[in-house]
A and B are shown apart, each in its own frame.
Chain A
Amino acid sequence: MASKVISSTIRRALSKPHGAVSRRHHLSTVAAAAAADTSTAYEDESILMKGVRISGRPLYLDMQATTPIDPRVFDAMNDSGINEYGNPHSRTHLYGWEAENAVEVARIQVAKLIGASPKEIIFMSGATEANNTAVKGVMHFYRDTKKHVITTQTEHKCVLDSCRHLQQEGFEVTYLPVKTDGLVDLEMLREAIRPDTGLVSIMAVNNEIGVIQPMEEIGMICKEHNVPFHTDAAQAIGKIPVDVKKWNIALMSMSGHKIYGPKGVGALFVRRRPRIRLEPLMNGGGQERGLRSGTASTQQILGFGAACELAMREMEYDEKWIKGLQERLLNGVREKLDGVVVNGSMESRYSGNLNLSFAYVEGESLLMGLKEVAVSSGSACTSASLEPSYVLRALGVDEDMAHTSIRFGIGRFTTKEEIDKAVELTVRQVVKLREMSPLYEMVKEGIDIKNIQWSQH
């Protein structure tokens, strides 16, 4: 009887393909499909997924979510997977020594990128683990004397959640507000520091709006008051020049898959002089200076190291390329549309992140229409609750504008054609939605929408 159930489930599982995407990998992007003859190309190359039909793979403009692996990083990783498969912690034979060597080479590559010593790099499974270890590990170690943590309202969810966890354990946390341009107010930071402050955690580059915090000044304030400074630099390394000594950083979280490396690997920089102590999250054999037990994933670490080295070499060129594309995107959109607002400071910003709000148009409907461009939005409808993104709310953006934001992520491999196509699709969709929007109509008639009493439901 049971075997009948099993066999019928197996039959059902095998006969129903997941997601209805054929295994033929469509390498043609929408840009290529547009250039080719569309009448015949449509039937062959189109993809039907989640009820939506698109003419090719969407343009990828979501680099803050993740980045594709650089082919050179891929080569380095593949090599190691086949040849250096030993456990780097095996001390007794060649396989272990080779693997350990590879990991140490990667460690040096990562350290060089941030101006640190290789002894200060601890490999982890990603920036989330690094953030957790830094925030919880430091406070748990100093729990007898230090009870207070300072962070900002725009931090990454993993930092905010770790702080909430600490609050449940009895620590006190100050969530600093940010100014309307997304930057931390240094005076407020100074005032918030108390004698029992154990950690200040402020991210270097925000993942949602792309603003760069004044790291040197924050570092100086922390040095004055002798408080350890932790920063989540997942979006910053390899993109802007990072120097842990100049910024007076005690702890820094890094992520592999934001700099064209593999997913599932990251690192935590833990300063040695002066020494910062922390309790490890992972207990075990004492690997990684006792701070992160577990076998190191040689292949991924190698990929991370290669990505860091490439990033160091190509940072300047990438910055020029990406800045040009950002201007192209912004100018292209601004030429054709009014009511376009950039969220976050324009001056202190990483050029690969462009978070735009289109007035009178709702974010999720725009995303639905932009199905041939892979971007993300800070709108309520795209989160599980009806709340707009907490980062945009912290910026003090008007509530109706918070529902309208789209984040464009530009990267090393983005092309001019992709940007042009994205501009064209965005403009077309915004115009269509504005025609459908009662707010736009009211504004055009001259009604001041801020003064209307809406009937809530």
Chain B
Amino acid sequence: MMMMLRQTTRKACLGLRASPLGLGRRLYHENVIDHFENPRNVGSFNRNDPDVGTGLVGAPSCGDLMSLQIKVDDSGQIIDTRFKTFGCGSAIASSSVASEWIKGKTIEESLTIKNAEIAKHLRLPPVKLHCSMLAEDAIKSAVRDYKEKRAKANAAAEEETVEA
């Protein structure tokens, strides 16, 4: 009787048998597929534009490289984003989701996006969580770059007014 119970549970678990690559149940959630097939905001801005912040994170040796660019208006709101990613399907989807979510937010609000939210939206398995981490890092890096640019521009403008 116990054998029968064991056999039925084993059969019910057949869908969860480990794939030959040892990754356990490997399923791309439809959100990941959607972002992969139809990525939003692919492309790039001119990184020298004063209202563009560029974040570049990751390393090709890890197999993941993300470039996220934000266009910010004077009131500190992100009006447009572009991204480019070298990485697996989950990395591309994570960066596409990130670029979508921060559009329309202020730069302070965009810093509150957590990698856990991206991972939950895409149902990322544990082995792919670093992709969502990278997306969060990309947002922070882009915002930091923009702030540095603004600080430098303000400093240069102050110098000019002082000289004049």
A binds B: yes
Which of A7-15, A98-106, A209-217, A218-226 is found at the contact surface with chain B? A7-15
User: Is there an interface contact between A50 and B27, defined as CB atoms closer than 8 Å?
Assistant: yes
Interface string of A1-38 (1 = CB under 8 A from B): 01001100110110010110000000000000000000
Which chain B residues lie closer than 8 Å to A437 at the CB level? 84-86
Could you say which of B22, B57, B65, B130 has the most chain A C-beta atoms within 10 Å of its C-beta? B65
Given A12-B12, A436-B39, A457-B133, A441:B4 Cβ within 8 A: no
Q: Is A360 interfacial (CB 8 A cutoff)?
A: yes
Interface string of A354-366 (1 = CB under 8 A from B): 0000001110110
* A454 interface neighbour in B58, B85, B91, B133, Cβ under 8 Å: B58
User: Is there an interface contact between A384 and B127, defined as CB atoms closer than 8 Å?
Assistant: yes
* A384 interface neighbour in B1, B11, B21, B59, Cβ under 8 Å: B21
Q: Is A400 interfacial (CB 8 A cutoff)?
A: yes
Q: Is B66 interfacial (CB 8 A cutoff)?
A: yes
How far, in Å, is B14 (CB) from chain A's closest CB?
A: 5
Closest to A439 in B: B86
Closest to A455 in B: B57
Q: Is B112 interfacial (CB 8 A cutoff)?
A: no
Q: Is A82 interfacial (CB 8 A cutoff)?
A: no
How far, in Å, is A123 (CB) from chain B's closest CB?
A: 25
User: Is there an interface contact between A18 and B84, defined as CB atoms closer than 8 Å?
Assistant: no
* A362 interface neighbour in B22, B59, B63, B133, Cβ under 8 Å: B63
Could you say which of A52, A386, A403 has the most chain B C-beta atoms within 10 Å of its C-beta? A403
* A13 interface neighbour in B12, B59, B60, B91, Cβ under 8 Å: B12
Which of B29-37, B72-80, B101-109, B154-162 is found at the contact surface with chain A? B29-37
Could you say which of B36, B59, B137 has the most chain A C-beta atoms within 10 Å of its C-beta? B59
How far, in Å, is A433 (CB) from chain B's closest CB?
A: 8
User: Is there an interface contact between A364 and B88, defined as CB atoms closer than 8 Å?
Assistant: yes
Given A2-B1, A16-B15, A436-B42, A454:B63 Cβ within 8 A: no
How far, in Å, is B127 (CB) from chain A's closest CB?
A: 7
Please tell me the number of chain B residues within 8 Å of chain A, measured between CB atoms.
50
How far, in Å, is A309 (CB) from chain B's closest CB?
A: 30
- Name B19-75 residues within 8 Å CB distance of A: 21-23, 26-30, 32-33, 36, 39, 42, 44, 56-67
Which chain B residues lie closer than 8 Å to A365 at the CB level? 36, 87-89, 91-92
A194 CA / B8 CA spacing, docked (Å): 56
Which chain A residues lie closer than 8 Å to B61 at the CB level? 399-400, 454
User: Is there an interface contact between B8 and A10, defined as CB atoms closer than 8 Å?
Assistant: yes
Which of A254-262, A280-288, A374-382 is found at the contact surface with chain B? A374-382
Q: Is A56 interfacial (CB 8 A cutoff)?
A: no
Q: Is A188 interfacial (CB 8 A cutoff)?
A: no
A360 CA / B60 CA spacing, docked (Å): 9
User: Is there an interface contact between B15 and A18, defined as CB atoms closer than 8 Å?
Assistant: yes
How far, in Å, is A335 (CB) from chain B's closest CB?
A: 24
Closest to B55 in A: A455
Q: Is A90 interfacial (CB 8 A cutoff)?
A: no
User: Is there an interface contact between B87 and A362, defined as CB atoms closer than 8 Å?
Assistant: yes
A436 CA / B90 CA spacing, docked (Å): 14
Which chain B residues lie closer than 8 Å to A456 at the CB level? 59, 62
- Name A288-319 residues within 8 Å CB distance of B: none
A150 CA / B86 CA spacing, docked (Å): 38
Which chain A residues lie closer than 8 Å to B39 at the CB level? 436
Q: Is A274 interfacial (CB 8 A cutoff)?
A: no
Q: Is A383 interfacial (CB 8 A cutoff)?
A: yes
User: Is there an interface contact between B133 and A400, defined as CB atoms closer than 8 Å?
Assistant: no
Which chain A residues lie closer than 8 Å to B22 at the CB level? 383-384
Which chain B residues lie closer than 8 Å to A455 at the CB level? 56-59, 141
Closest to A450 in B: B60
- Name A332-381 residues within 8 Å CB distance of B: 360-362, 364-365, 368-369, 379-381
User: Is there an interface contact between B1 and A51, defined as CB atoms closer than 8 Å?
Assistant: no
User: Is there an interface contact between A51 and B12, defined as CB atoms closer than 8 Å?
Assistant: no
Given A10-B8, A365-B87, A437-B85, A51:B27 Cβ within 8 A: yes
A435 CA / B32 CA spacing, docked (Å): 19
* A438 interface neighbour in B11, B63, B86, Cβ under 8 Å: B86
Measured CB to CB, the residues of B under 8 A from A are: 1, 4-5, 8-9, 11-12, 14-15, 21-23, 26-30, 32-33, 36, 39, 42, 44, 56-67, 84-92, 127, 130, 133-134, 137, 141
Q: Can you list 19 contacts pairing A with B, beta carbon distance less than 8 Å?
A: A6-B4, A6-B8, A12-B12, A13-B9, A362-B91, A368-B89, A380-B63, A384-B22, A399-B60, A437-B85, A438-B67, A439-B60, A439-B65, A441-B44, A454-B60, A455-B59, A456-B59, A457-B62, A457-B130
The 5 A-B residue pairs with the shortest CB-CB distance in the complex, in nearest-first order: A400-B60, A454-B59, A399-B61, A364-B88, A438-B67
